[in-house]
């Protein structure tokens, strides 16, 4: 049971972490009990639940067979292909055993790596859980990543097997994976010995390399009655590697443990997400990202919930599709991103009213700062609780959030909330490293030990783990590389990346603040703000705005009128120092496939530089929009 209040619970988790986490550890099944809750004898490395043995797949699937074998565990929906399939816990268990048998036959066992390069299909989750069952380490690479990016991850992880599909689908267009895989394996220095392919029948010209490429459906048929024993692993055994997006040079693989991750997710499902066995959760992310790992796959299944895996966009066949799913499957908990909600904000508002969403208790949004106008709009439209939460690939679960399962505290629009239990959050001055006062900007850091579920190291590179995350201040603290401020009530407000700060004539401006000011204007749908090099001031502010009504800025007169109004809005909210030097109007902004703005690429174009690695770009036309806006600033 939770503590009496948020304050008591958080205090206990920081001052007596062994007491707090020993209680939470009872949420999962341990084959062998742990001898110690925490070993922090070699900071900043933390080992949780020392000597305890467990298994993620057993906790996510097997243990539910007694109480809810026929309850849906996984519902696969593809608006790209029109397929819709539900798997009970019993059926999921059977499929995972078949997949585990297939992998085992290829030599995959404890500690071996498997690269999963897949679209959003059920087999991708079978493969993840099968790896966990075998004690193998999966590394999911976002489907459609460019060949050289895939090759670099292959060489870092050195997998025994690569699990892929013939193609993925997005917006009605096929993305052929196999040619990308073939090219990656030519580039890789350490290619896997076999490639297992789920043939969806999308790529009619699928080419197979004899002796290396294997058909999953054929292999599955050979193992229909398979029963694969669970491999019980020590708590610190790696469960997966997830490469952080936007890395340059040698990939940076976030390594996650097993026991700590299982306990952290199981606890978060109650305390943060309010999920209970039998509830349905719909997370709109991709399994290639950390949200997909934690809250499409492992978190909901650990809690005995039904999880929806969705292949499609939020606006196809129309902007009501997500709400149709909510109604059809009585979704209780939903998790999406601010970007996705802003996309919906530009659609026909009638789509929000077409379906009964009364089953929905809460909508969680994360992945980037949630601006107040977007939060208010979706909260009013759906009449549900909208909960912002802030976290990173490295942490695996939220750092800042409302925690209604402990105590329903008031929320503040624009703030992801207060520190989550287990996270000892501080704000430090970027130069002195000293704590900053309330309402002052600082770099958000976490005083170690990091709680269970956070990265245990960088795969194969302990020194890089320490240097990257724990060497930025005179004291050894984990740096988030994010600016934030804290108000007098203890609520945190994320102001943007520390390396996205704009320095105008010695004044440091967070892109987040300016973007929020511009977003508050009724004529703005989306906005990205970057700092552009300036000989006189060091940097000046440049804003790239998507107008709600494109026709309003189609000519120079409309362009100038809205630009003037937006300048006045910034002046009013932040002062003249934050006023953009120029506002450019575009039809869309460059984003990754996970919905994050590519501010660095926008900044590079504005400064006449190479925009860099664009393998994660969702729509190549977006960068061309930026180029044209820079060439023709008057509209």
Rounded CA gap, 152 and 188, in Å? 7
Q: Which of 407, 412, 388, 408 is nearest to 399 (CA)?
A: 388
pLDDT the model gives residue 248: 41
DSSP H or E segment with residue 484: strand 478-486
Distance between alpha carbon 541 and the CA centroid of its chain, in Å? 28
d(CA 450, CA 373): 33
Pick from 386, 374, 330, 321: nearest CA to 352: 321
H-helix segments, 391-528: 462-470, 511-519
The overall pTM is greater than 0.75: yes
* Cβ 605 vs Cβ 623: under 8 Å: yes
The span from the CA of 52 to the CA of 54, in Å, is 7
What is the Cα–Cα distance from 288 to 310, expressed in whole angstroms?
A: 13
Beta strands in 177-289 (DSSP E): 194-198, 213-215, 233-234, 240-243, 253-256, 280-283
pLDDT at residue 613, rounded to an integer = 67
Query: Is there a contact between 216 and 161 (Cβ–Cβ < 8 Å)?
Result: no
Least confident of 1-5, 292-296, 399-403, 483-487: 1-5
464: phi then psi, degrees, rounded to nearest 5: -65, -35
- The pLDDT confidence band at residue 540, using thresholds 50, 70 and 90, is confident
Phi/psi for 516 (5° steps) reads -70, -40
How far is CA 419 from its chain centroid?
A: 19
pLDDT value for 535: 63
**Average pLDDT, stretch 273-288?**
96
The span from the CA of 543 to the CA of 580, in Å, is 6
pLDDT over threshold 70, residue 566 = yes
Token pair in block for residue 607: 């400064």
In whole angstroms, give the CA distance from residue 258 to residue 233. 8
Under the banding of pLDDT at 50, 70 and 90, the label for residue 136 is very high
- 634, pLDDT greater than 70: no
Q: What is the pLDDT of residues 309-323, one digit of tens each?
A: 999 999 999 999 999
The predicted model gives 552-560 an average pLDDT of 86
d(CA 320, CA 465): 43
pLDDT above 60 for 635: no
Identify the pLDDT of residue 118.
Answer: 96
Cβ neighbours of 356 (radius 10 Å) = 13
Q: What is the mean pLDDT of residues 619-633?
A: 82
Establish how many alpha carbons lie within 13 A of residue 163's alpha carbon, considering only the half-sphere containing its beta carbon: 30
pLDDT tens per residue, range 183-198: 999 999 999 999 999 9
Task: Count CA within 13 A, CB hemisphere, residue 497.
Answer: 13
pLDDT band at 372 (very low <50, low <70, confident <90, very high): confident
pLDDT of residue 499: 63
User: Please, what is the angle between helix 259-271 and helix 17-24, to 10°?
Assistant: 80
- What pLDDT does 413 receive? 87
Is the pLDDT score of 249 beyond 70?
no
> Is 561 in a helix, a strand, or coil?
helix
Q: Closest by alpha carbon to 307, among 284, 340, 338, 339? A: 284
* pLDDT at residue 500 is higher than 70: no
Give dist(CA 517, CA 203) in Å, integer: 46
Q: Is the separation of the CB atoms in 307 and 345 below 8 Å?
A: no
CA distances 77 to 48, 65, 532, Å, are 37, 23, 43
Q: Looking at the predicted structure, is the pLDDT value of residue 117 above 90?
A: yes
pLDDT at 245: 52
Task: Tell whether the torsion through CA atoms of 569, 574, 580 and 581 is positive or negative.
Answer: positive
Residue % of the chain over a pLDDT of 70:
95
What is the residue-averaged pLDDT of the chain? Answer: 92
Condensed to tens digits (0 to 9), the pLDDT of residues 440-495 reads: 999 999 999 999 999 999 999 999 999 999 999 989 999 998 889 999 999 999 98
Neighbours of 307 (CB within 10 A): 26
Q: How far apart are CA 323 and CA 382, in angstroms?
A: 10
Instruction: Give the count of beta carbons closer than 10 Å to the beta carbon of residue 362.
Output: 18
Alpha-carbon separation of residue 61 from 30, 58, 121 (angstroms):
14, 5, 18
Phi, psi of 328 (to 5 degrees): -65, -40
Which contiguous run of DSSP H or E holds residue 299?
helix 299-302
Total length of the chain: 635
Domains by residue range for the chain, with CATH = 6-483 (3.40.50.12780), 501-631 (3.30.300.30)
Say if CB 3 and CB 406 are below 8 A apart: yes
**Separation of alpha carbons 351 and 348, rounded Å:** 6
Per residue in 137-174, pLDDT tens?
999 998 867 787 899 899 999 999 999 999 999 889 99
More confident residue, 294 or 593: 294
Task: Strands of 129-252 (E only): list them.
Answer: 137-140, 161-165, 167-170, 173-176, 194-198, 213-215, 233-234, 240-243
Question: Given a cut of 90, is residue 406 above it in pLDDT?
Answer: yes
C-alpha 94/C-alpha 56 separation (Å) is: 16
* CB-based contact 532:502 (threshold 8 Å): no
Contact 277, 303 (CB under 8 A): yes
Band of the pLDDT at 2, cuts 50, 70, 90? very low
Written as six digits, the tokens of 299 are 């978190």
The mean pLDDT value for 361-382 works out to: 89
Q: DSSP letter at 554? A: S
Cα gap 519→369, rounded to integer Å? 12
Report the alpha-carbon distance of residue 296 to residue 293 in Å, rounded: 6
Q: Where are the beta strands (DSSP E) in 143-268?
A: 161-165, 167-170, 173-176, 194-198, 213-215, 233-234, 240-243, 253-256
The strand pair at 507-509 and 502-504 is best described as antiparallel
Mean pLDDT (whole number) for 295-317: 97
**For residue 246, what pLDDT band results from cuts at 50, 70 and 90?**
very low
């Amino acid at each position: 049971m939770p503590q009496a209040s948020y304050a008591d619970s958080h205090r206990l988790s920081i001052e007596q972490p062994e007491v707090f986490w020993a209680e939470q550890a009872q949420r999962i099944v341990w084959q062998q009990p742990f001898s110690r809750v925490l070993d922090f004898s070699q900071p900043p490395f933390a080992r949780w639940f020392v000597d305890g043995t467990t298994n993620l797949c057993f906790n996510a699937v097997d243990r539910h067979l007694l109480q809810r074998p026929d309850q849906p565990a996984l519902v696969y929906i593809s608006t790209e292909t029109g397929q819709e399939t539900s798997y009970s816990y019993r059926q999921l268990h059977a499929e995972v055993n078949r997949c585990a048998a297939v992998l085992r036959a290829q030599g995959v066992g404890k500690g071996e790596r498997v690269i999963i390069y897949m679209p959003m299909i059920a087999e991708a989750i079978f493969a993840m859980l099968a790896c966990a069952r075998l004690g193998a380490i999966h590394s999911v690479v976002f489907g459609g990543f460019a060949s050289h990016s895939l090759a670099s991850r292959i060489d870092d992880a050195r997998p025994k097997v690569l699990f892929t599909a013939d193609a993925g689908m997005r917006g009605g267009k096929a993305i052929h994976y196999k040619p990308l895989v073939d090219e990656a394996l030519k580039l890789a220095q350490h290619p896997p010995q076999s490639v297992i392919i789920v043939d969806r029948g999308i790529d009619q010209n699928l080419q197979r390399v004899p002796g290396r490429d294997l058909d999953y459906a054929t292999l599955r048929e050979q193992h229909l009655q398979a029963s694969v024993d669970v491999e019980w692993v020590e708590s610190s055994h790696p469960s997966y590697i997830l490469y952080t997006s936007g890395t340059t040079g040698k990939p940076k693989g976030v390594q996650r443990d097993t026991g700590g991750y299982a306990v952290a997710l199981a606890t978060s499902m109650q305390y943060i997400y309010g999920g209970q066995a039998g509830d349905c959760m719909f997370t709109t992310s991709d399994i290639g990202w950390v949200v997909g790992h934690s809250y499409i796959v492992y978190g909901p299944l650990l809690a005995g919930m039904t999880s929806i895996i969705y292949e499609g966009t939020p606006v196809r066949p129309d902007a009501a599709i997500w709400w149709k799913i909510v109604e059809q499957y009585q979704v209780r908990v939903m998790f999406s991103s601010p970007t996705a909600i802003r996309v919906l904000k530009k659609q026909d508002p009638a789509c929000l009213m077409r379906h009964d969403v009364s089953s929905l208790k809460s909508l969680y949004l994360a992945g980037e700062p949630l601006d107040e106008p977007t939060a208010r709009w979706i909260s009013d439209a759906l009449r549900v609780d909208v909960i912002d939460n802030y976290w990173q690939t490295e942490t695996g679960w939220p750092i800042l959030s409302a925690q209604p399962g402990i105590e329903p505290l008031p929320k503040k629009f624009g703030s992801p909330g207060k520190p989550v239990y287990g996270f000892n959050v501080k704000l430090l001055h970027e130069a002195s490293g000293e704590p900053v006062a309330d309402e002052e900007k600082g770099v958000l850091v976490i005083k170690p030990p990091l709680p269970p579920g956070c990265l245990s190291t960088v795969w194969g590179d302990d020194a890089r783990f320490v240097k990257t995350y724990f060497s930025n201040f005179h004291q050894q603290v984990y740096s988030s590389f994010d600016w934030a401020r804290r108000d007098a009530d203890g609520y945190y407000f994320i102001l943007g990346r520390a390396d996205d700060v704009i320095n105008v004539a010695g004044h440091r401006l967070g892109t987040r603040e300016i973007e929020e000011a511009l977003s508050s204007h009724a004529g703005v749908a989306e906005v990205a703000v970057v700092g552009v090099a300036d000989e006189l001031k060091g940097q000046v502010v440049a804003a790239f705005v998507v107008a709600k009504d494109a026709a309003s800025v189609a000519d120079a007169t409309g362009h100038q009128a809205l630009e003037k109004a937006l300048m006045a809005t910034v002046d009013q909210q932040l002062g003249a120092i934050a006023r953009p030097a120029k506002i450019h109007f575009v039809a869309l902004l460059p984003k990754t496939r996970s919905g994050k703005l590519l501010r660095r690429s926008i900044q590079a174009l504005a400064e006449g530089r190479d925009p860099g690695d664009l393998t994660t770009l969702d729509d190549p036309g977006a960068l061309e929009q930026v180029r044209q806006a820079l060439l023709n600033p008057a509209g």
